[in-house]
Structures are given as C-alpha cells and as structure tokens.
Amino acid sequence: MRLILLGPPGAGKGTQALRLVAKYGIVQLSTGDMLRAAVKAGTPIGLQAKEIMASGGLVPDDVVVGIVGQRIEQPDARKGFILDGFPRTVPQAAALDRMLADRGIALDSVIELRVDEDALVRRIETRIAETKARGEPLRDDDSPEVLRTRLKAYRQLTEPLIAYYRDQGVLRTVDGMAAIDDVTTAIDKVLPSEPTPARAKKKAQS
Ligand code: AMP
C-alpha cells in the first residue's frame, strides 16, 4: 500500500499515519520528521532547513525530493509507505511521479484530510498548551504567527495538489474535523481493498 496524506498543518496527518502504519505494516515517511532529525544532527541539509522551518516556509523542492528518493529505497519501505507532509508543491508531486514510475510502482490513494482553518488554529493552540503542560519543549514552529505562514504556504503551494491528484483519479477526501476514530473509519472506507498492482517499468515499455 502506497499512500499520501494531504492536509494543512494540524489536520491530524501524523495521528492517522500512525494508525495506518499499525494496520498495514507499512512505514510512515514524514519529511518534517526527517528534516527535524537533520536539523538536530547539524547535517548540511539541517543547516539549510533550520531557519526556513522555524519561519514556516518551505524547504527547497530539490532538497526534500532528494531525501524522499533516498528514503523510499530503504528495505523497510518496499512493502509500502505513507507519505506525510510530502509532496507539498506541484514540482514535488511531479518528481514523485517520476520516482515511482522509474521503480515501476504506483500510488494507491491520496487521502485529503479536509479541515477548517479556524479550527486548525484552535487545535494548534491546544497542542502548544498541552506540550507546555507536560513540561516538554515546543517545536520551533509552534506559534500562532508561524502557523499563519504555514497555512498561507499550504493554500498557495500545496492546495493545487488536490486538483492534481483528482485528475489522476487517486484523490479520496475525508472530513478531518470528525473525531479521530471516525476519521480513521472514514479513511478505511475509502482505501482500496487491494493495493494497485505494480506498473511495468518505464524503461521496459520503450
Ligand atoms: P511538518 O512536520 O510536515 O509540518 O513539516 C515541518 C516543516 O518542515 C514545514 O513547515 C517545512 O518548513 C518543512 N517541510 C516538511 N516537509 C516539506 C516538504 N515536503 N517541502 C518543503 N518543506 C517541507
């Protein structure tokens, strides 16, 4: 099973991804997590991404495409994966299409978690309050101002992917405002019962 979870920050992609991981035995590939690990480790990519992430902007396409390309080559991703936070732009989606075609594999579904922006801001504020109450450190980008920048980036650069995947016939939209368990049930209902069979490799076709 190869899936994409699409939705603005705070829509619950991470929560639903964890449930899909448990259900299908596939891996969650979160570009946000990978980039945060790179920032923590102080790698060249991390150094490049740190300020951009803290301000709520998007890391350059070639950087994230590079890390996803390497990650989907790993043995644990062979059985399938859930992309969480990638692609975020049309060029990233086009690069992903090429990557998958080169490997002779196809996406099963793109699940859009549809939410309302005011509710998102409230969700993030709750997450900040809960994190503080647990005495845990906040993420650099956990602030209402940065959230607004991230939502703007989502609207301008990521939302066009809804039409992109609708045109490919793989988009499935779910109400992300429902209770967590109900969102999980709705996702279950829209997923195909059989994973999409692998396509012949591009090279083999010519
Ligand atoms: P996330 O954990 O998915 O909310 O991502 C946190 C931050 O990492 C984002 O606000 C971006 O700065 C960066 N990021 C994560 N994924 C991508 C991506 N696919 N393209 C560009 N930037 C990304």
Ligand 1 atom closest to the CA of 87, numbered from 1: 19
pLDDT, position 202: 47
pLDDT, position 204: 42
Burial tier of 76 (Cβ tally within 10 Å: 0-12, 13-18, 19+): exposed
> How many angstroms is it from 117 CA to the middle of ligand 1?
18
For 121, the enclosing helix (H) or strand (E) is helix 117-133
Q: Is residue 205 part of a domain?
A: no
Q: Is residue 204 part of a domain?
A: no
Q: Is residue 192 part of a domain?
A: yes
pLDDT, position 71: 95
Residue 170's closest CA among 9, 3, 1? Answer: 3
Ligand 1 atom closest to the CA of 9, numbered from 1: 4
pLDDT, position 140: 75
For 109, the enclosing helix (H) or strand (E) is strand 109-114
Tokens matching residue 115:
């939410």
pLDDT, position 206: 39
pLDDT, position 137: 87
Q: Is residue 191 part of a domain?
A: yes
> How many angstroms is it from 140 CA to the middle of ligand 1?
12
Which residue lies with its CA nearest to atom 5 of ligand 1? Answer: 32
Q: Looking at residue 12, which CATH number applies to its domain?
A: 3.40.50.300
Residue 157 CA to residue 93 CA, distance in Å, equals 11
pLDDT, position 196: 63
Ligand 1 atom closest to the CA of 153, numbered from 1: 10
Q: Is residue 43 part of a domain?
A: yes
b/e per residue 127-164 (b: at least 16 CB within 10 A): ebeeeeeeeeeeeebebeebbeebbebbeebbeebbeb
> How many angstroms is it from 26 CA to the middle of ligand 1?
21
Pocket (CB within 6 angstroms of ligand 1): 9, 31-32, 35, 52-53, 56-59, 64, 85-86, 88, 92, 141, 150
Q: Is residue 206 part of a domain?
A: no
Which residue lies with its CA nearest to atom 10 of ligand 1? Answer: 56
Contacts by residues 21-28 (CB-CB < 8 Å, ≥ 24 positions apart): 21/82, 23/188, 24/80, 25/79, 25/80, 26/1, 26/2, 26/79, 26/80, 26/81, 26/82, 27/76, 27/77, 27/79, 27/80, 27/81, 27/82, 28/81, 28/82, 28/84
| Single pTM value for the model | 0.88
How many domains would you assign to the chain?
1
pLDDT, position 186: 97
Q: Is residue 50 part of a domain?
A: yes
Ligand 1 atom closest to the CA of 13, numbered from 1: 3
Q: Is residue 102 part of a domain?
A: yes
Residue span of the structural domain in which 37 resides:
2-199
Contacts of 179 (CB under 8 A, 6+ apart): none
Q: In order along the chain (206 residues), what is the average pLDDT of each group of 10 residues?
A: 94 93 94 96 96 94 96 93 97 97 94 91 85 87 84 95 97 95 96 66 45
DSSP β-ladder status, 81-84 and 109-114: unpaired
